[in-house]
A = this chain, B = another copy of it.
């Protein structure tokens, strides 16, 4: 298996903009297609006023905020996040992320193998 180095924004993007999601663009950066054996790295971009759905699942998230400003719903409380914030969301916790700034909110979000990659 080879080492792979790439620009994250060159990866194929998928936009979610309906129902409970608004202005969400997601990319699988490192996953099963690349041979990742244990966990999957995705990049998400929320447009200003964008938000993910509030949702719950059995698997955890490990998140690092690369750019922008927003809030993360954690155990019923909205907490501020910004460039350089990180978050651990354990399996079973209801969570949601929204952009509260005027520029894109960009973050890395990882899930264990077996969870949907996007």
Contact = CB atoms under 8 A, between A and B. Distances in A.
B3 A88 contact: yes
Copies in the complex: 2
A81 B8 CA distance: 11
Contacts of A87: 3-6
A60 interface: yes
Nearest to A84: B8
A76 to B, nearest CB: 10
Interface centre among A41, A87, A88 (most CB of B within 10 A): A88
A111 to B, nearest CB: 9
Nearest to A1: B90
A47 to B, nearest CB: 18
Given A60-B38, A64-B29, A88-B30, A81 B5 contact: yes
